[in-house]
Amino acid sequence: MKFWRNYRLLIGGFGFSNLGNWIYLVALNVYVLNLTDSAAAVAGIFIVGPIARIVTSFFAGSLIDRANKRKLMIVTDIIRGGLIIFLPFMQSIWLIYTVLFLTNIASSFFGPSSIYYITKYVKEEDRTRFNALLGSFNSGAFMVGPALSGALIYLFNPSIAIWVNSFTFFVCALIIFYLPDVEEKVENVREPLSLNMLKADFLTVLQFARQESGFITIYLVYQLTLMIAFALDSQEVTFIKQNLGASESIYGLIVSLTGIGAISGGLLAAALVSKYSLKSYISVGFSFTMIFYTVFYASSALWLAIASFILLGFFMAFSNAGYDTFYQKSVPPELMGRFGSVGLILTSTVQILFTFLLGTFAEVFTLQPVAIIFGSIGVLLALILSGILYTKQRAIVNQ
């Protein structure tokens, strides 16, 4: 199969690295809990990352757009792999947080660079199928990674699982090394970082936003809705235990079944790219994703909650494949680093705000009605997005 021959290294490298991330996340939680016996210390893991990404995003985009993205991905993978090697030797939670902060800084450079590379390397007619298949691999990693991490922890200890993630970063770097360089000539690559450069870059992003108001409208509504979904993710375990009376093991089962739904959706999305447009993938996929988020929190029976999550994962695969392709079509490659960094500042801030509001309202009132209200707002926004997609006469969303 020509498609697979062309892109197997790229899909395999990113998918393998993502598998290591899920192995590492579970192992790190266990390691920190064993070290500190503190739930607050574990929660700190999930705070360090967004803070690092927000801080880094003020200058990361300017550096990314002036660098060779393939080489940057290789360097950041090696840095992340090298830093993680030392985590199991650390007995201070603050040293661990410092390493996590540094690895998340490296991740802030890797993400936008990978989007640029995909945009330049993958043929335009192959992007939707590629994004769908990559999403299936990532969903498989999401499903298999925690289980594999649990097995490694059971057979050995958390340190082994953490080192496995370090190994996956090195493997990903090696795979990227064997991929071709797609970089066009980069001007001013040695220009030193300065406040004037950052200001000029921000004004460039602002000018792009003004010129592409249609894309920006779709981008903002999509991201706002997505941040509601991320906030709802933070209360899944609490809802399952408190409202449905299920155990944490049942939650693990639901996560696995969601992964199966996402893999199935990704494979079907890859197969149907010639039959349906991007706007169909985004509007139908995203609307049903938010509907099933809401149905999940409205569930009074465990079977309905499980069915909702399977269907949620299925339709999210279509939404992700469509939106990723739409983004790659809409943002000029030479601007992806700067635009992505500015967007990351906004989305990370909104995500923190929505997560805080949902948790606070759930404490003041009760979780289920608050989550249903949040989900319903997400459904409304998804339907508004669908209306925008079908009324905007843009070639991008009509393809």
pLDDT in tens, 218-249: 999 999 999 998 888 777 777 877 788 776 56
Q: What is the pLDDT along the chain (399 residues), one digit of tens a residue?
A: 667 677 888 888 888 777 777 787 778 877 887 888 876 677 677 778 778 888 888 888 888 888 888 899 899 999 999 999 998 898 888 999 999 899 988 888 888 888 888 888 888 888 888 888 887 777 777 667 777 777 777 788 888 888 988 888 899 899 989 888 877 655 544 566 677 788 888 888 889 888 888 889 999 999 999 999 888 877 777 787 778 877 656 766 776 777 788 888 888 888 887 787 888 889 999 999 999 999 999 988 888 988 998 898 889 888 888 888 888 888 888 888 888 888 888 888 888 888 888 888 888 888 889 999 999 999 999 999 999 888 864 544 544
State pTM to two decimals.
Answer: 0.79
CA separation, residue 43 to residues 223, 252, 269, 296, 389 (Å): 24, 19, 35, 24, 38
Identify whether the C-beta of residue 348 lies closer than 8 Å to the C-beta of residue 54: yes
* Joined tokens for residue 121: 């390397």
* Joined tokens for residue 242: 């408190």
Q: How many CB atoms lie within 10 A of CB 219?
A: 21
Secondary structure of residue 130 in the 3-state scheme: helix
Q: How many CB atoms lie within 10 A of CB 392?
A: 15
- What was the pLDDT predicted at 396? 47
Alpha helices, DSSP H, located in 272-366? 278-298, 302-330, 336-364
Identify whether the C-beta of residue 114 lies closer than 8 Å to the C-beta of residue 73: yes
Q: How many CB atoms lie within 10 A of CB 356?
A: 12
Identify whether the C-beta of residue 40 lies closer than 8 Å to the C-beta of residue 163: no
Burial zone of 258 (CB within 10 Å; 0-12 exposed, 13-18 middle, 19+ buried): buried
C-alpha 257/C-alpha 310 separation (Å) is 6
C-alpha 64/C-alpha 98 separation (Å) is 23
Look at the block and give the residue holding tokens 């392709």.
325
* Joined tokens for residue 390: 């079908």
Domains of the chain (ranges plus CATH)? 1-180 (1.20.1250.20), 195-399 (1.20.1250.20)
Fill in the DSSP letter of residue 94.
H
C-alpha 78/C-alpha 96 separation (Å) is 18
